[in-house]
Structure 1
Amino acid sequence: MTDRRPEFHGEMFDKGLAVRREVLGDAYVEKSLAAATDYSAPLQKLITEWCWGEVWTRPGLERRLRSVLNLGMTMALNRPAEFKTHARGALNNGLTREELVEIVLQGAIYCGAPASLDAMRLLQALFDELDTEGRT
């Protein structure tokens, strides 16, 4: 099989990688990049460059607000893995556990009970993991 993986470097990739690491943490990002296959590596490159390098670095919104938006959108779209990932990132961006709960409560009205119940379960699992790790 031909190696289809793009090179993980370049100005926009490096810029995005720095933000991605700051928001999601080194361990998560390293795991994502290490798991990239010939097929999924181009998507990792695209997301790192455009999502994290182009959009997340724009000056129009602070990271806390970008996190709030991502939580609402991933909750509405029923994307549990991304919701949990961005909940952890939201904490890294300065949101509190109480604010995350409020986001889910707000989402209950606009996204529905099933979405909010799933999101609250994900938050509780994240909080339990953080407590086990000794993080507040």
Structure 2
Amino acid sequence: MATEKFEKGLDTRREVLGADYVNASIENADEFTMPLQQLVTEYCWGDVWQREGLSLKVRSMLNLAMITALNRPHELKLHVRGALNNGLTREEIREVLMQTAIYCGVPAAIDSFRVARAVFEEVDAASKD
């Protein structure tokens, strides 16, 4: 059963990550994975991302750094797109990743630069269509 927090979370999640991705995540969830989708949507997107104190842009910056530190390229790709949606420039994304090179390690930052560049190429190709 969808709660108000779940619905608010879905709205924010769609705003940041894109409706196609989020809708597919929910639609493709099965009996095993739906509890995780509900948890992520309610508590990550419906609670923490809804809090006052940090803008969506700052939250995206933090996510890029933390996901780089955790070496999670699939999630990083998703959050690079989200960062662009939240108003970060490519230069700001680059600077976040440069910061991670020093504090998280050069190999992690190199992988993150590769992922970010691939997202930028996809975005550029889509904008030409």
TM-score range, shorter chain: over 0.9
Q: For structure 1, which segment, 55-64 or 30-39, has the greater mean C-alpha deviation from structure 2 after superposition?
A: 30-39
**Matched pairs, number:** 128
**Alpha-carbon distance between aligned partners in 1 of 2:89 and 2:30, rounded to the nearest angstrom:** 35
The answer to whether structure 1 residue 28 and structure 2 residue 39 are counterparts is no
Q: Which is helix-richer, 1 or 2?
A: 2
Deviation at 1:35, TM superposition (A): 1.5
RMSD value, Cα? 1.0
Runs of 4+ in 1 over 6 A off after TM superposition: none
Superimposed CA distance per residue, residues 49-96 of structure 1 (whole angstroms, 9 cap, x where no aligned partner): 000000000011111110011111000011111111111101100001
For residues 25-104 of structure 1, the aligned pairs below 5 Å read 25-104=18-97
- Structure 2 residue aligned with 1:4: none
Deviation at 1:110, TM superposition (A): 0.6
Deviation at 1:31, TM superposition (A): 1.3
TM-score by length of 1: 0.91
Which AA in structure 2 matches 1:12? Answer: K
Which AA in structure 2 matches 1:20? Answer: R
Runs of 5+ unmatched residues, structure 1:
1-6
Runs of 5+ unmatched residues, structure 2:
none
Which AA in structure 1 matches 2:13? Answer: R
